[in-house]
Structure 1
């Protein structure tokens, strides 16, 4: 018997939500003509047929017959593996899971829910009731890259009543699932739940730190970098606050702290906070010989480059390259560094050229806007020079070449120096009062 075809896939998450889900049934699913096979279509007839087959029910007999070929996962979940997974690890509690699946009711030809129809995988967290209970139980029996078929009882799906008219009462279902990936996010509260006595024991703290690190890594993968930073700092604080009993524990503690500070440097670079990244690198130096740590040297180089410390950045990156000569990321970072450094040199030459009158300027009459800009800057400079406490005056961003020429002329007139400096990988200009020796502050 053939079931009705949905115009769009029914999303289980919406169905389980507070507001439910709406769906429409197509009564003309056999009436599609040649519009699917036009020559200017990006797909082919074969591709369309493959996609069509993918959402068709591969089992045309009763579920009882299929269960007889399966083994029991739980009271209401039966399983048959169609492709073995990798490794021995099953999906743990609290894991973040990504799956590809199609789901069918007994005796129906087409899927009532399908990631294939939606064109995207389903990602959810175990234990948070984001999917049907039966599907969650099924997924927890799987290994990475495994593909399997599950017959799941109505008791752990839509219950005795179902969801009329689409979902019949006591509706069992066949789920064909591929486990794409899973990550164990760890226990975010593992450290906070320790007693005062436990917090001083390295043997206890190290396991909880491992949980917190895993949770931080999960945050980082999801681009929740601020949360990752908080967890990494929490792990550092607890690890540094506990007592070690012997040299072996001391060595292990140091290695873990170096890994944590390296992760923090990565996070701060990603958050465009190079100064904090450098602080984390300094902590690593306190703990060991950084010249043997290519990852730390790499992120030190990146942070220094974003601070405009190009020579020091190059030194760190070259040290990292000596440790990992074929690392493509280091080669790429050195290329970026050389490009930025050259651009910086050109900008400095341009400033010097304007300062010494070497740049040719066109004798143009100032526009009304330029006259207004000149008067405003002149007033600002008068106040700046008159204020004995003020040593620097930062120029606004986005000034045109002509406006920079005006600023240079006024700087000469008021005997102050125009300098270029870098902050958070951006170039800024500022005016500085000259010292008695004639040079501006550095």
Structure 2
């Protein structure tokens, strides 16, 4: 056994011995005992990711049922990735670049299936939210951890994982029975090398302007800012602003670079808007909102509702109540049942009424003086 294989085996054993955390979406109930709107939408979205091949049908004909075990037929198209076939892999779309380094942060989308069940029992696509975790850190299923370590950026692959590397003999709540094989369809969307920031500082000055180096560095800064946000918001602001400065002045070579730059700048501007709203620095918050507006012009990017909401809060702090109301109305149209939006709307209406009363009183006082 090679040194790399020994290290991989030890890491895997560590994960299995120390346990792991892996959440499967379950329908939560609101205070009235009914599913929340978010859960209802999630359940509807699951139908978009039906997999007839997993259910035992023919992908090309919905009414056709193929005899035999679905996972066995899918596995025949796969190769052994780990543990003498305990984890099998099939590449659906080739990726590019290097595989993610040990202990790097990855962001993935996935659908997870049980045999004979076409609807996924868990789906980040249906939740419309990528899943982020650190490799070799015991944060997800062992099989999923090993699977993602084998992938390249932008790769999309299927993995059949045996129970001992999935949910084991106990399963998971009422969604996954004990001793179940599972199939994960995974898309690796982002890799953040935790050592990228340190590496960047050692690069020659001319290379520090090259997009790929800048992008990896800024991804690391963005991840660090997110990690410390709850404990040190000023520290998070510093990381985000450093990343913005580097990204805004890097050298872009093609359209792909520009799209990746815009996507990350959108995330950074949004994070800064949230930070400055929380620290009650409304002018700085508005500056970042205006940067977001300029960024999306002529692109397919859209401003998230939370940006309009936070900009409305900043404008309210500045006494710009009417403009704040316009911004908030956009957030309301997108999320009409969001309690934070509704509460701010009430407060803004009261602010506007109070301002009008004060203006009327001043006008009456001036007329009385004459």
TM bucket by the smaller chain? 0.3 to 0.5
TM-score normalised over the length of structure 2: 0.44
Greater share of helix: 2
TM-score normalised over the length of structure 1: 0.38
| Structure with bigger RCO (C-alpha 8 Å, 6+ apart) | 2
